[in-house]
Amino acid sequence: MILASKSPRRREILSQFGFDIEIDSVDVEEVSDEKEVVDQLMDISRKKSQEVAKRNPDKYVVSADTAVIIDGRVLGKPGDEEEAKRTLRELSGRAHEVITAYTLFNLSKEVMHSHYDTTMVYFKELSDEEIEWYVATGEPMDKAGSYGIQGKGTILVDKIEGDFYNVMGFPLSKFYDDLKSLGMDISNIRMM
């Protein structure tokens, strides 16, 4: 299977489950004319898969796009440490959504399947000292929402409702369910 993403977290998740992953990403402008966030994410995910599938028509290509949302606003990656601190203060003591849309594409088999998953994340009340410490680790700087749940950022989280892997960047459980619904057998995962 080809992962149309440079995300080391997505590669880790899929490899850990048993997929034999190749990386082939493209620079697709991550914008969409869709109105709703979920539709935007699915549109961007489809564009990524389609571009890579054109070069690899006989292989399965998977792509994904993740957003962290609070108060209806999408929180991107922080531009600098001050923005990361502001974002973490905003998330402190509150709940937010993490939505990941993904697409599975195979041109020769005429497979084009997109779906998404949503996970609610509840942050602990954070002190300025905790925020300063976390930002100083450098971990939040390349992550939407300014935190990584799989790393040091796990101490910021009180609880989640939904798929942990979705918060990391790929909703593995939902993806597996979709593979089954498409008639794919778990014993053939390595051959995808």
Give the active site residues: 65
Task: Give the residue from 65, 177, 54, 43 showing the smallest Cα distance to 106.
Answer: 54
For 64-97, give the DSSP string: EEEEEEETTEEE---SSHHHHHHHHHHHTT-EEE
Beta strand pairing call for 95-106 and 73-75 = unpaired
Instruction: Indicate the residue type of 7.
Output: S
User: Where are any strands of DSSP class E within 71-192?
Assistant: 73-75, 95-106, 111-123, 157-161
Task: State how far the alpha carbon of 103 is from the alpha carbons of 5, 151, 188, in Å.
Answer: 12, 26, 19
CA dihedral sign of residues 130, 78, 23, 65: positive
Distance CA 192, CA 186 (A): 10
Distance CA 190, CA 12 (A): 15
